[in-house]
Structure 1
Amino acid sequence: MRWYVRHFYDVGLAVGFIALACGVLVSLDTLQQILLLSFAVLCVHEFEEYGWPGGFPSYMNRVMFPKIAARLGKESGPSDRYILNQVNSVFVNVLAAYPFYAVPIFFPDLIWLGLAPILFNLVELLIHGVGAVVATKSPYNPGLLSCLPWLVLSVWYIVEVTRNDLASGADWAIAVGYLIVWIVVALPVGTFVLLSDRNSRYPFAPEELSRFEKYTRRIHTVIHP
């Protein structure tokens, strides 16, 4: 358990490569190929955030959350375990995100099921590419680069379902509703309420935290608190 929560993103990178291999070896239709690639990018995205160049735990706990907490009149916590720790990172990135992205691959005819993660790709792009960049006045934040292939895949998927008239108004409505429910359950409730703990026994390891400094020294940034 402890080994996995410490290395989930390393394991996830291997899972992403396996997904790509399946895409080559298994006969899939176009929508399945897009969804499979989107899942593979998810694995790369998480590795970029936590593994290489990494730094997302420090970035979230030392930079972003203190800004949010100050506006809400709340206190931040130990930056090695609050508001993110290893356990709630596994929850949101694996237990919540893997099924959300992987299940639609097996049910490509349920367009709303595939649309939800495709739309979330665009949400992630807005968070990393606009919100975080503006908030920190930094040209880079952990996870930004891997959002770019998500943009291509999302546009491709939407073009495919639109051109072939595969998505009804109900599909779009259900997809948006499902996405909103998933975001609320996965992020505010699951990650930041139920599983956040200032006294968590699963803090991030020193080497995970030090990755933050490694890349901030190499780019022009003012994201240091």
Structure 2
Amino acid sequence: MTRFILRHWYDVGGVLVVPVLLVAFLGHWPTVQFILLLNLAVIFIHQFEEYRFPGGEPWVLNEVFLSKPDPNVRPDTLPTNELSSIWINGTAWILYFVAVLFPDQVWLGLAPILMGFPAQFVVHGVITTRKLKFFYNPGLGAVVLGHLPLAIWYIVAVYQEGLIHWWDWIFGLLILGFFMGFVMQVVGFRVLAPRGVKKWHYTVAEYTRWDRERRLLRAGITPRPIGTEGLVEAPDPT
């Protein structure tokens, strides 16, 4: 069961999009809460786009965005693997869902809203497109078509309804900084990723989606071998 969840959490999110959208459109929600419900649905779509269809986010992260190549370490294990990925993305689910439950607490809503735009836009739309030398990468579609317009709508709505205060920006940015700095960088990349190198590396099918080798070569990056052949696995600190 654990391995199934680690390899299909994004499929679960893809299924959850349907009930979340039904709840959003069939219910009678205040505007701000409605936007946050849509934002929750979009993060599920965003992650499905990254990991399932078209997929490719694991190698984009490990070999393009976060690349610090070590010829003795499997590229499908570090800086991310199945264990670190579910931790980071699952924690994001909680952040987005809590914002829906407390729509009047704008500081809670600002964190996931700003994570979608501008944070995700900078990652996917600026840095990764430049490094990959291609106008698209997995996840960018949901950012441009979902997170960006929802962020604009949310900020306009909370100002129009007089819900936002200056401290909401401070606390919202602090939560976003905590997520990106501690949840992702410290726990995800430095603690859980090394612990998952042997047991929770990506499968070949999972890691090579979205035509990995051709796109890496197009970006001027030499694809490193995946699997264990000819490589020494990084030590597991456990």
Partner of 1:108: 103
1:199: Cα distance to partner? 3.2
The answer to whether the 8 A contact 1:35-1:104 is kept is yes
Cα RMSD of the aligned pairs, angstroms, is 2.2
Partner of 1:207: 205
| Residues 202 and 27 of structure 1, relative CA distance in 2, 3 Å threshold | same
Gaps of 5+ in 1: none
Structure 2 counterpart of 1:88, from 72, 80, 84: 84
Query: Deviations along 1:133-165, whole A, 9 cap, x unmatched?
Result: 122222111111110110000000001112222
| Residues 159 and 87 of structure 1, relative CA distance in 2, 3 Å threshold | same
- Number of residue pairs matched by the alignment: 218
Q: Secondary structure at the match of 1:125?
A: helix
How far apart in 1 are the matches of 2:40 and 2:10? 13
How far apart in 2 are the matches of 1:132 and 1:146? 15
Q: How does 1:68-79 map to 2 (within 5 A)?
A: 69=68, 77-79=73-75
Partner of 1:59: 60
Structure 2 counterpart of 1:181, from 175, 178, 182: 178
Q: Secondary structure at the match of 1:156?
A: helix
The answer to whether the 8 A contact 1:112-1:175 is kept is yes
1:173: Cα distance to partner? 1.3
The answer to whether the 8 A contact 1:77-1:83 is kept is no
Percent identical: 33
How far apart in 1 are the matches of 2:174 and 2:72? 31
Q: Secondary structure at the match of 2:147?
A: helix
Q: Give the counterpart letter for 1:128 in structure 2.
A: H
How far apart in 2 are the matches of 1:113 and 1:134? 32
- What TM-score do the two structures reach when normalised by structure 1? 0.89
1:214: Cα distance to partner? 6.2
Moved more, 135-144 or 206-215: 206-215
1:54: Cα distance to partner? 0.2
| Residues 160 and 216 of structure 1, relative CA distance in 2, 3 Å threshold | farther
How far apart in 1 are the matches of 2:123 and 2:21? 26
Q: Does 1:119 align with 2:117?
A: no
Partner of 1:165: 162
How far apart in 1 are the matches of 2:21 and 2:177? 28
The answer to whether the 8 A contact 1:76-1:82 is kept is no
- What TM-score do the two structures reach when normalised by structure 2? 0.85
1:216: Cα distance to partner? 4.9
